[in-house]
Amino acid sequence: MTSRRLSTVLAAIAAVTMLPPPGATACLGCHPAKPSVTTPVVPLFGQSAENIVAKLRAFRNGEQPYTVMDRIAKGIGEDEAQAIAGYFARGETK
Ligand code: HEC
């Protein structure tokens, strides 16, 4: 692979990884889309990935009180939860 081709590939990977993982944008209909915004729904930005993943697991098990999150959490697999949680923990808003 030529170095020019390699840099094109690397640029493409960088562009792709800056996008929210699949599913994360769906959370932003209810959870605030920016760390600076305050809404009645708990912000996910700024929480640790471990905490978000643990909460999603607890919603799935019915251990965490819920109104809607049980259904949402059941639609998210463990891998997807990790990716989404990492995105919010990193605080990217793009
Ligand atoms: C329909 C609105 C809605 C959507 C969409 C939504 N949430 Fe929630 N979320 C809530 C509400 C409301 C709560 C408070 C618990 C409850 O009432 O179910 C909550 C709570 C949470 C909590 C617990 C936060 C805490 O610190 O207690 C986490 C984690 C969470 N949501 C993650 C997500 C993720 C990840 C997504 C996207 C896959 C998502 N939510 C999509 C409404 C939503």
47: phi then psi, degrees, rounded to nearest 5: -85, 150
pLDDT attached to residue 36? 80
Per-domain residue ranges of the chain: 20-90
pLDDT for 30: 93
Q: Contact 88/49 with Cβ under 8 angstroms?
A: yes
Measured between alpha carbons, how far is 56 from 70 in angstroms, rounded to an integer? 8
Per-residue pLDDT tens listing for the chain (94 residues)? 566 665 555 555 444 555 788 889 889 889 998 878 778 899 999 899 999 999 999 999 999 999 999 999 999 999 999 999 999 998 865 5
pTM: 0.82
| CATH number assigned to the domain covering 20-90 | 1.10.760.10
Protein residue closest via CA to atom 34 of ligand 1: 27
pLDDT on residue 18: 59
The finding on whether 52 has its CB within 6 A of some atom of ligand 1 is yes
